[in-house]
Structure 1
Amino acid sequence: MAMNELLDNITWHTLSGPHADFSIGTATIRRYAPGFSPILASADTEAPDLAALAPFCQSGEHLYCADWSGVVSAGWQLEAESRMFRMVWAGELPEDAHAAGMAPLTAEHGEQALALAKLTQPGPFGPRTIELGDYLGCFADGRLVAMAGERMQAGRYREISGVCTHPDYQARGMARRLMLALIRRQMQRGETPFLHVMCDNTTAHGLYQRMGFEDYSEVPVRVISRL
């Protein structure tokens, strides 16, 4: 499969491929299992079969979906709609630099990671999201104050996700150093890093461009719920 075909529906190729064991659904539409990031994807981005996914969702549960902007079928409600950039790494291999206080995140850090994500809203996040790949965090006095990790993957593409910093510790470069450490790991594994950033988040978008990411596409992103 061509690389651009993977990127054009990266969530589906993730949920139906490497993350099939972390997801539930059918042969044409899937979602991350409860506890992971509440994201769905469909093989057909023009007309996802939401009726087939309904048995795997709770009434009122909010689910995120990218790459689809068609009519929302009966039994579902559109809660929010926006756009985001899908960016792909085009830079050199980052230097091996250790960030002060940096450490791997494990299951024991799940509650702290979820609390930080709820506070800073880096995107859809669940208590088990850190199980989807390598997650790194910076700690201050034993408290998690910044993190970045890996989520979706398909082919050679691996997503950088969950990037956030506690408001009291921003503007110190923590998240950037965590991201560069992950990018270095990915490139050494022969992977190509990519990420998503909301189009209206001009500060983060500019930072990622300066780091070495390039825009691949601008895609719709929605939040829907089952009635």
Structure 2
Amino acid sequence: MERSAALDHIFWHALAGAHRRHSSGTDTARRYTQGFSPIIAFADPARPDFAALAPWCEPGERFYCENWTGAAPPGWRIEAETTMFRMLWDGAAPVADPAPEAVPLRPEHAQQALELATLCKPGPFGIRTIELGDYFGLFDGERLMAMAGERLRAPGLCEISGVCTHPDYQGRGLAKRLIGKLLRLHQQRGDRSFLHVMRSNPAHQLYLDMGFKDYLESTARVVVAD
């Protein structure tokens, strides 16, 4: 599979590029501003500049960080570590919208989206995460059954993220339909779709079956500012 410098280092490219207005930090280390997804990234993950990041972090804050190994510097501790797959779409997007009834999620839906993410744990998610891109939800009356949306981006690339379905509505293919909707949207924009999934998540096989391919596997950590 052809390599992409932006996709290889997508968290930094998003925080320092398309989402710079939603982030805080320096030219060597950045984080999403409080309220967005609790993610940090470094210009050089081989030499993470935690000292530059410290002024924008509060004691006790938890962050997700990828592609960094080694001991935690003073003032930080590693709470969890695993690996995750970055998967790149390698199929044909749906010709027709598979979820035409999906509702664009707006600020008035933010609390419901956060509650669903807290229940389903699709990855780092904040009350303002749905502002990072187009998010769509499927509703049963006023109840949010499932959602999916966009997070990281770089020129020609857009991530599908926040994919989750309430346990009461699983097994109906709702998330798959929302992913298809986003794939079609990205194709229309000329973007290549990608996503992340933890190694232990059984959804990895589902994404392979859908047409995503493993692009790389990287270290994923949860770190805490002490």
Per the normalisation by structure 2, the TM-score is 0.97
Residue-by-residue CA offset, 1:83-119 (whole Å, 9 max, x unaligned): 0000000001212134374211111100000000000
Which position in structure 2 is the counterpart of 1:169? 169
Alpha-carbon distance between aligned partners in 1 of 2:69 and 2:9, rounded to the nearest angstrom: 13
Alpha-carbon distance between aligned partners in 2 of 1:167 and 1:100, rounded to the nearest angstrom: 22
The answer to whether the aligner puts 1:12 opposite 2:7 as a matched pair is no
Counterpart of 2:163, as a letter, is V
Give runs of aligned pairs for residues 68-79 of structure 1, distance below 5 A.
Answer: 68-79=68-79
Seq. identity, %: 55
Alpha-carbon distance between aligned partners in 2 of 1:40 and 1:114, rounded to the nearest angstrom: 20
Which position in structure 2 is the counterpart of 1:221? 220
The answer to whether the aligner puts 1:119 opposite 2:157 as a matched pair is no
Alpha-carbon distance between aligned partners in 1 of 2:67 and 2:8, rounded to the nearest angstrom: 8
Which position in structure 1 is the counterpart of 2:106? 106
Alpha-carbon distance between aligned partners in 1 of 2:165 and 2:93, rounded to the nearest angstrom: 24
Counterpart of 2:171, as a letter, is A
Quote the RMSD (CA, aligned, Å).
1.2
* Cα distance, 1:190 vs structure 2: 0.5
Counterpart of 1:162, as a letter, is G
Three-state SS of the structure 2 residue aligned to 1:195 is: strand
Alpha-carbon distance between aligned partners in 2 of 1:101 and 1:116, rounded to the nearest angstrom: 19
Which position in structure 2 is the counterpart of 1:94? 94
Alpha-carbon distance between aligned partners in 2 of 1:165 and 1:93, rounded to the nearest angstrom: 21
Counterpart of 2:213, as a letter, is E
Alpha-carbon distance between aligned partners in 1 of 2:23 and 2:132, rounded to the nearest angstrom: 11
Residue-by-residue CA offset, 1:8-47 (whole Å, 9 max, x unaligned): 1100000000100000001110000000000000001111
Residue-by-residue CA offset, 1:190-223 (whole Å, 9 max, x unaligned): 000000000111x201110111100000000000
Three-state SS of the structure 1 residue aligned to 2:6 is: helix
Counterpart of 1:177, as a letter, is R
Give aligned pairs, total: 225
1:110–1:127 Cα contact (<8 Å) kept: yes
1:149–1:162 Cα contact (<8 Å) kept: yes
Alpha-carbon distance between aligned partners in 1 of 2:192 and 2:100, rounded to the nearest angstrom: 26
Which position in structure 2 is the counterpart of 1:208? 207
Structure 1 gap segments, 5+ residues each: none
Alpha-carbon distance between aligned partners in 2 of 1:226 and 1:134, rounded to the nearest angstrom: 31
Give runs of aligned pairs for residues 178-189 of structure 1, distance below 5 A.
Answer: 178-189=178-189
* Cα distance, 1:71 vs structure 2: 2.2
* Cα distance, 1:3 vs structure 2: 5.6
Residue-by-residue CA offset, 1:33-71 (whole Å, 9 max, x unaligned): 000000000001111110110110110100000111122
* Cα distance, 1:187 vs structure 2: 1.0
Which position in structure 2 is the counterpart of 1:65? 65
Counterpart of 2:152, as a letter, is M
